[in-house]
Amino acid sequence: MRSDVESRALEQRAHARTPTKRKAYLVDGRKAWKCSLIDVADGGARVSLTDMGLPEEGIFLVDSIAKRVHLTRVVWRSQKEAGLQFIESEALDGPAGGKDGAVTIATRFAWRLNGA
């Protein structure tokens, strides 16, 4: 049975979450970190983190399994997890290619977003 706090939190979510256990990459500029997706929704995701300095805005999530790249904003964070809101998203047209590929994908997506 859910507590009142859990029920209120679920009611505030705009999109249903889908549990998952897959790897993805968080990209900030020229650095990429492997993370684990815990759950995903149309508007965001919850990720498991290692000890990394995650900026509040401007981080990209590259999900090669779902073939999507997302510009995100951190909406909450604990010591081991973070909740990300998707600001802009785009389909990937090829494989991510590990950390280096994730950085390339995020950089190209950023250029398109900035109209370059």
Q: What is the pLDDT of residue 96?
A: 78
pLDDT tens for the 116 residues of the chain, in order: 445 544 445 555 566 888 888 999 999 988 898 999 999 999 999 999 876 677 777 899 999 999 999 999 999 988 889 999 999 999 998 877 899 999 999 999 999 999 85
The answer to whether 54 and 81 have CB atoms below 8 angstroms apart is no
